[in-house]
Amino acid sequence: MAGGRGQRFWPYSRFDTPKQLLSVTGGNSMIRDTINRLSSLISLSDIYVSTTEDLFHSIKTLLPEIDYLNYILEPVGRDTAACIGLAAVVIAHRYKDPDTTMITLPVDHLIGDQEVFRQTLQFACQLARETGNLITIGINPSRPETGYGYICVGEEVNKSGDMSAYKVKEFTEKPNLGLAKKFIQEKNYLWNSGIFIWTCKAILGAIAKELPVLYQGLLKIKANLGTLQKKEIVKQVFNKLEKISIDYAVMEKVPNRLVVKGNFKWDDVGSWTSMERIFPRNSEGNVVQGDYEGVDTKNCIIINDEGLTVTIGLSDLVIVSAGKIKLIYPKDREGDLKKIIQKISQNEKYKNYL
């Protein structure tokens, strides 16, 4: 899934060059890393990239080895439920088999222990095929994070070596800090990684039950796959859909769900504050990328793409210099980034900065 805009990484992540096209950690682009980590598990002909029409050419340039027919294009973004539903319909049609197994991967994750990651996916695929359950990968939480979803783990139902699958008691999406701390203390909660494994038949069946409007639209699209009318039908359907995630719409509600514990290093690189988990801090507790000098500046994230950034007497700030744009805010106000982007979008003078 590569259609997001990465607003919490603005101003580096822009409308035409969102986060997945950038090198957040100084190496490859995030989308390239996602493809590379699958290379020994899945052939290129079986990898599909779901994105919006306006990002297709940028992504295709980065991933020339992915066949044109393996790009699933949405006319407008309608969040992950619509994205996944469309992909399931296309893939089931392509392989002429509703029991085809899908691994659904967000494009903006950092993952260590690559071999353990691949083994976990193989284990989850086997479970999905054998049980018909919807499976997510859960991660042991290391902090009371309010930006992630949480999964309350029930009894163990399957085990293979060091890998285990559990029943899901409950999904809780992005709790407040107090609840997140409670989950950490109770020790039977995992982070929802947003990595899902299921058969096309299983996820489309769940969508039919929980999202009937989306499902009826998918049936229209299915009837027109392989025809000249397909693109226009997809446009008509998507323009009428609500934006809703697969987590809220399906995974929180269905009974046939399992969680496989992922024993690998994982991070959802969702925002500037995640830089503190990726890069080392200096002696003052600052994460610095680019040219910088400061006095009495502590616990800041300082990102500078050109020139010199200089600070005096500051603490707990995010300071980002990206060309003509300078962004500064307290780390605990990260949730307000979308507000300022919305405000900028309403000012004709500044729209070209988005």
pLDDT exceeds cutoff 80 at 15: no
Q: Distance between CA atoms of 187 and 195, rounded to whole angstroms?
A: 21
Tens digit of each residue's pLDDT (9 = 90 or more) over 233-245:
999 999 999 999 9
Average pLDDT over residues 1-5: 84
Average pLDDT over residues 86-100: 96
Tens digit of each residue's pLDDT (9 = 90 or more) over 312-329:
999 999 999 988 999 999
Tens digit of each residue's pLDDT (9 = 90 or more) over 53-86:
999 999 999 999 999 999 999 999 999 999 999 9
Q: Distance between CA atoms of 81 and 250, rounded to whole angstroms?
A: 8
List the beta bridge partners of residue 310: 293
Q: Distance between CA atoms of 52 and 82, rounded to whole angstroms?
A: 12
pLDDT exceeds cutoff 70 at 223: yes
Helix (H, G, I), strand (E, B) or coil at 181: helix
Greater confidence (45 vs 112) lies with 45
Average pLDDT over residues 214-242: 95
Write the secondary structure of 212-239 as one string of H (helix), E (strand) and C (coil).
HHHHHHHHHHHHHCCCCCHHHHHHHHHH
Tens digit of each residue's pLDDT (9 = 90 or more) over 253-275:
999 999 999 999 998 877 899 89
Is there a contact between 310 and 323 (Cβ–Cβ < 8 Å)?
A: no
What percentage of the chain exceeds 70 in pLDDT? 99
Q: Distance between CA atoms of 155 and 167, rounded to whole angstroms?
A: 6
DSSP code of residue 256: S
Counting DSSP H helices and E strands in the chain, the numbers are 11, 16
Side-chain half-sphere CA neighbours of 310 within 13 A:
2
Helix (H, G, I), strand (E, B) or coil at 174: coil
Q: Distance between CA atoms of 60 and 69, rounded to whole angstroms?
A: 11
pLDDT band at 173 (very low <50, low <70, confident <90, very high): confident
Average pLDDT over residues 143-164: 91
- Cα 20 to chain centroid, rounded: 10
Beta strands in the chain (DSSP E): 49-52, 71-74, 101-104, 109-111, 134-139, 149-160, 163-173, 189-199, 257-262, 266-268, 287-289, 292-295, 301-304, 309-312, 317-322, 325-330
Q: Distance between CA atoms of 163 and 165, rounded to whole angstroms?
A: 7
pLDDT band at 14 (very low <50, low <70, confident <90, very high): confident
Q: Distance between CA atoms of 199 and 291, rounded to whole angstroms?
A: 49
Q: Distance between CA atoms of 137 and 165, rounded to whole angstroms?
A: 9
Q: Distance between CA atoms of 172 and 150, rounded to whole angstroms?
A: 5
pLDDT band at 18 (very low <50, low <70, confident <90, very high): confident
pLDDT exceeds cutoff 70 at 343: yes
Beta strands in 140-237 (DSSP E): 149-160, 163-173, 189-199
Question: Mean pLDDT lowest for which of 14-28, 174-188, 211-225, 295-309?
Answer: 14-28
Tens digit of each residue's pLDDT (9 = 90 or more) over 194-217:
999 999 999 999 999 999 999 999
Question: Mean pLDDT lowest for which of 44-53, 103-112, 229-238?
Answer: 103-112
pLDDT band at 26 (very low <50, low <70, confident <90, very high): low
Task: Give this prediction's pTM.
Answer: 0.90
Helix (H, G, I), strand (E, B) or coil at 54: helix
List the beta bridge partners of residue 170: 152
Is there a contact between 128 and 142 (Cβ–Cβ < 8 Å)?
A: no
Q: Distance between CA atoms of 47 and 44, rounded to whole angstroms?
A: 5
pLDDT of the residue at 79? 93
Q: Distance between CA atoms of 308 and 217, rounded to whole angstroms?
A: 52
pLDDT exceeds cutoff 70 at 6: no
- Cα 352 to chain centroid, rounded: 26
pLDDT band at 12 (very low <50, low <70, confident <90, very high): confident
pLDDT of the residue at 3? 85
The tokens describing 231, both together, are 């693109």
Q: Please state, rounded to an integer, the average pLDDT across all residues of the chain.
A: 92
**Domains in the chain, please, with CATH?**
7-270 (3.90.550.10), 274-353 (no CATH)
Residues 268-298 as b/e (b if ≥16 CB within 10 A, e otherwise) read bbbbbebbbeeeeeeeeebbbeeebebeebb
pLDDT band at 8 (very low <50, low <70, confident <90, very high): confident
Greater confidence (24 vs 123) lies with 123
